[in-house]
């Protein structure tokens, strides 16, 4: 009930969120560009320099996957509290590739065993009378969430997102309870609001409403050319205009297919979009994008 009330009300979210795809060789347009970025950001200091530029430009939220290298960034922020007094994190979990590769190598059950936080943890569940054998999915899911959250210890994480691979997999299979388990746990254990990243926003909103999650935070591709907006751009626009949820727009530049001014003008034209997440690798791009968002948001 607490969760429901909180969701109805909705925490204020920052308008501009800084994303992390550029740091981890994710580029939807070009392998070459992804490789160049991987080389540039192999040193964590290079990532921190860009984050510093974003922070100095007035961006306060780093929305990041639970990639193992984010742990180094977290450590840096923890060690320099005076440098980042207002920096908060929106973790996005799980970083799917490590699980996908492990499932290929070890199979489903062995993967679960490997990713449960510590060897002791599995034993603890077994002793506690709930076990893999008793199909305690909820208990295991909670442990996996805790394992993913470990790197953020001592940092502010007011919103925790479920990554799109996981969200969309559960959406497709129809495991709606999975959304509830995630939402309950991040709220109870971390005092955070649940967020959901998806490529299938209209369907997801239906599913979340069915489990009583009102006014949910949903992060989805929202861009002028309809890139990876399943169901089509028209449906997205209708849903954004008419339904009650907190949309976070990602991929607003469609991996560079839309010019920044045009891209931002489009997204800011939809007044119900709460936040915009973008990634950039240079100080000038960060400042320019932020300036554009502010310019079009005030219109």
Distance between CA atoms of residues 50 and 22, nearest Å = 10
Sign of CA dihedral 268, 270, 273, 276: negative
| C-alpha of 123 from chain center | 31
Task: Say if residues 32 and 57 touch (Cβ distance below 8 Å).
Answer: no
Cβ contacts of residue 12 below 8 Å, gap of 6+?
A: none
Tokens representing residue 16 in the block = 């501009």
| Closer CB to another protein, 71 or 257, in the complex | 257
The minimum distance between CB 90 and another protein, in angstroms, equals 21
Task: Say if residues 274 and 247 touch (Cβ distance below 8 Å).
Answer: yes
| Closer CB to another protein, 33 or 156, in the complex | 33
Residues 96-115 close enough to bind another protein by CB under 8 A: 97, 100-101, 103-110
The rounded radius of gyration (Å) of the Cα atoms in the chain is: 19
| Closer CB to another protein, 129 or 174, in the complex | 174
End-to-end CA distance of the chain: 37
The minimum distance between CB 103 and another protein, in angstroms, equals 5
**Three-state DSSP class for residue 236:** helix
Question: Is residue 175 part of the contact set for another protein (CB under 8 A)?
Answer: yes
Distance between CA atoms of residues 143 and 49, nearest Å = 33
The minimum distance between CB 247 and another protein, in angstroms, equals 17
Residue 42 sits at the vertex; the CA angle it makes with 37 and 43, to the nearest 5 degrees, is: 125
| Closer CB to another protein, 200 or 275, in the complex | 200
Q: What phi and psi, each to the nearest 5 degrees, are found at residue 40?
A: -65, -40
| 162 DSSP 8-state letter | E
Q: What phi and psi, each to the nearest 5 degrees, are found at residue 216?
A: -70, 160
Residues 71-90 close enough to bind another protein by CB under 8 A: none
Question: Is residue 230 part of the contact set for another protein (CB under 8 A)?
Answer: yes
The minimum distance between CB 209 and another protein, in angstroms, equals 17
Question: Is residue 130 part of the contact set for another protein (CB under 8 A)?
Answer: no
The minimum distance between CB 96 and another protein, in angstroms, equals 9
Residues 255-274 close enough to bind another protein by CB under 8 A: 255, 257
Question: Is residue 210 part of the contact set for another protein (CB under 8 A)?
Answer: no
Which region among 49-57, 133-141, 154-162, 271-279 touches another protein (by CB under 8 A)? 133-141
Question: Is residue 173 part of the contact set for another protein (CB under 8 A)?
Answer: yes
Question: Is residue 17 part of the contact set for another protein (CB under 8 A)?
Answer: no
Distance between CA atoms of residues 135 and 112, nearest Å = 12
Question: Is residue 30 part of the contact set for another protein (CB under 8 A)?
Answer: yes
Among 20, 148, 168, 193, binds another protein (CB under 8 A): 168
Task: State the residues that interact with another protein by CB under 8 A.
Answer: 24-31, 35, 38, 97, 100-101, 103-110, 132-133, 135, 137, 165, 168-169, 171-175, 177-178, 199-200, 203, 225-228, 230-232, 254-255, 257
């Amino acid at each position: 009930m607490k969760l429901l009330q909180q969701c109805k009300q909705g925490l204020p979210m920052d308008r501009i969120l800084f994303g992390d795809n550029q740091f981890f060789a994710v580029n939807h347009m070009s392998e070459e560009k992804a490789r160049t970025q991987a080389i540039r950001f192999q040193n964590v200091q290079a990532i921190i320099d860009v984050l510093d530029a974003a922070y100095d430009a007035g961006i306060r939220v780093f929305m990041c996957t639970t990639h193992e290298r984010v742990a180094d960034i977290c450590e840096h922020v923890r060690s320099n509290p005076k440098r980042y007094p207002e920096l908060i994190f929106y973790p996005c979990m799980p970083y799917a590739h490590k699980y996908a590769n492990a499932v290929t190598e070890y199979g489903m059950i062995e993967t679960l065993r490997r990713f449960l936080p510590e060897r002791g943890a599995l034993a603890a569940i077994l002793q506690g009378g709930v076990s893999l054998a008793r199909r305690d999915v909820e208990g295991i899911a909670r442990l996996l969430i805790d394992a993913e959250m470990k790197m953020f210890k001592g940092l502010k994480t007011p919103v925790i997102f479920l990554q799109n691979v996981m969200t969309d997999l559960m959406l497709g299979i129809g495991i709606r309870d999975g959304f509830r388990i995630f939402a309950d746990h991040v709220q109870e254990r971390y005092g955070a609001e649940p967020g959901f990243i998806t490529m299938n926003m209209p369907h997801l909103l239906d599913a979340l409403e069915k489990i009583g999650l009102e006014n949910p935070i949903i992060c989805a591709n929202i861009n002028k050319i309809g890139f990876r907006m399943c169901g089509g751009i028209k449906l997205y626009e209708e849903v954004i205009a008419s339904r009650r949820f907190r949309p976070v727009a990602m991929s607003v530049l469609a991996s560079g297919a839309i010019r920044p001014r045009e891209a931002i003008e489009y997204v800011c034209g939809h007044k119900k979009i709460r936040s915009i997440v973008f990634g950039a690798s240079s100080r000038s791009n960060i400042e320019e994008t932020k300036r554009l968002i502010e310019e079009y948001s005030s219109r």
